[in-house]
Amino acid sequence: YVFGDAIITFTIRDALRFNQFIKNLKLNLQTCLLHLLSEKTVLFITHQLEFLDATDLVLVYPGWKWFEKQDGIRSLQKSSKDPVPEFYNIYLERPKGDADGYDLVVVDAMHKANYASRICHSCRPNCEAKVTAVDGQYQIGIYAVRPIEYGEEITFDYNSVTESKEEYEASICLCGSQVCRGSYLNLTGEGAFQKVLKDWHGILDRHHLLLGACELNFVSEEDYIDLGRAGLGSCLIGGWPGWLIAYSARLVRFINFERTKLPEEILRHNLEEKRKYFADISIEVEKSDAEVQAEGVYNQRLQNLALTLDKVRYVMRCVFGDPKKAPPPLERLSLEAAVSFLWKAEGSLVDELIQCMAPHMDDSMLNDLKSKIRAHDPSGFDDIQKELQRSLIWLRDEEKQPQRPWPKDRIWSFKNSPKIFGSPMLDAVLHNSPLERDLVIG
């Protein structure tokens, strides 16, 4: 089939699907063709009489809007028994060496694009996607990496990663090349790739970094230097409040720390896996591969940081108008305030526990529990922090009593609640923002 200046070849399977579209949906011919072309079941081949040489520009990958729809797509895919991964979107990244620093936008080419968005993946491609500057604007171009003969399929390596094992296993590559990886995705969400993150960056570590940045609410010269070395400049962090820039610098330091530790973990993991199947292993080759994989994780961390910070900017703009006006999301409670929140005030942790348990206990047992709780009230002591720790340990041990109907879900909610730190920004977001509550705290 010839569409404009492109030659498109349909497989037998595609033709059967095409006929099924006509029978089941009763669509006209034009609509059916457009529907079929919206899926990556087409094969693009060169139609020029002369072959394309290496570094030749094949075509431009034009950008369109990126909708705030990904959460909706994921929620729909959860209800699907066999969700198919979407790979029409591509990152348009500002180079880290740009005067304004690194940033990225997501190009959603599912509905508005040319046929660059329909080029298939290959583990041994003849093209690659490059970001180039044209007339003062960045754009994505598809360039040949080797000579392309007449009639040869145009392909490029998606270089995509996923943290979902299910998505990875469903993304089967059929490129047929000798170096085919078996999947057009790379799995980075499990095993050695997460080892340093799990060991050194747990929930308490993350809150410690954020709380420290919120308390200072100041950006040091060292912060700007570390951000600059990572390629983060005014394009991404311009117009932010001080606490957020300081927190970003702390995250960059951890990403740098992970980069130094990760090759060793990846190497250990790779050697353990390969020794199950191979007797002859080159340590030098494995070390080189581990370095490459660690660098890939490093770049992915920076991508995720940039994407998340752009989302934070969007929330702050919706709530406060000017992101610089956004107050720190955490503040350290005084010991007296912590005792009130946990033990004494109306709606405290202990108060909610008693309310949840009351319908399931007789009066004598409930009164006995209330007496014990009053006896362990940590307020009024010289060393409030020590007494509060003792009271919480007692509450933990009391929870293990089998005859008590402790509401485990309430205790879990307390352990995961951001309110323990105090949060003027969170209160503003939850009560004054048009955003969905689940979007903010989910």
User: pTM for the full model?
Assistant: 0.67
Q: Are 141 and 116 in contact (CB under 8 A)?
A: no
Residue 392's contacts (CB-CB under 8 Å, 6 or more residues apart) are 342
- Residue pLDDT, tens place only, 116-130: 778 889 999 999 999
The region of weakest confidence among 70-74, 306-310, 418-422 is 418-422
What is the rounded CA–CA span in Å between residue 256 and residue 153? 40
- Residue pLDDT, tens place only, 278-324: 888 888 988 988 898 899 889 989 999 998 998 899 889 989 999 99
| Angle, helices 242-274/221-229, rounded to nearest 10 degrees | 40
- Residue pLDDT, tens place only, 218-249: 999 999 999 999 999 999 999 999 999 999 99
Confidence of residue 437 (pLDDT cuts 50, 70, 90): very low
Helix H or strand E segment including 129: strand 127-134
Higher pLDDT, 175 or 441: 175
The neighbour count for residue 165, using CB atoms within 10 Å, is 11
- Average pLDDT, stretch 178-186? 83
Q: Above 80 in pLDDT, residue 33?
A: no
What is the rounded CA–CA span in Å between residue 192 and residue 268? 8
- Average pLDDT, stretch 415-433? 45
Read off the amino acid at residue 219.
Answer: V
Structure tokens given for 109: 């080419």
pLDDT for 413 equals: 41
For the sheet with 57-61, list strands across it: 57-61, 137-144, 127-134, 155-156, 120-121
Which single residue is written with the structure tokens 């529907």? 35
Which single residue is written with the structure tokens 């009639």? 151
Structure tokens given for 84: 């198919």
> Strand 6-9 and strand 2-3: pairing?
antiparallel
Mean pLDDT of the chain: 76
Tabulate helix, strand, coil % of the chain (nearest 5): 50, 10, 35
Structure tokens given for 141: 């171009």
- Give the residue extent of every domain in the chain: 1-37, 52-186, 191-325, 335-421
52-186 fold = Beta-clip-like (2.170.270)
- Average pLDDT, stretch 338-363? 84
Which single residue is written with the structure tokens 């059967």? 16
Report in angstroms the alpha-carbon separations of 207 from 43, 247, 255, 371. 49, 10, 16, 34
pLDDT for 243 equals: 96
The region of weakest confidence among 4-18, 108-122, 150-164, 331-345 is 4-18
Q: Above 50 in pLDDT, residue 204?
A: yes
Q: Above 70 in pLDDT, residue 95?
A: yes
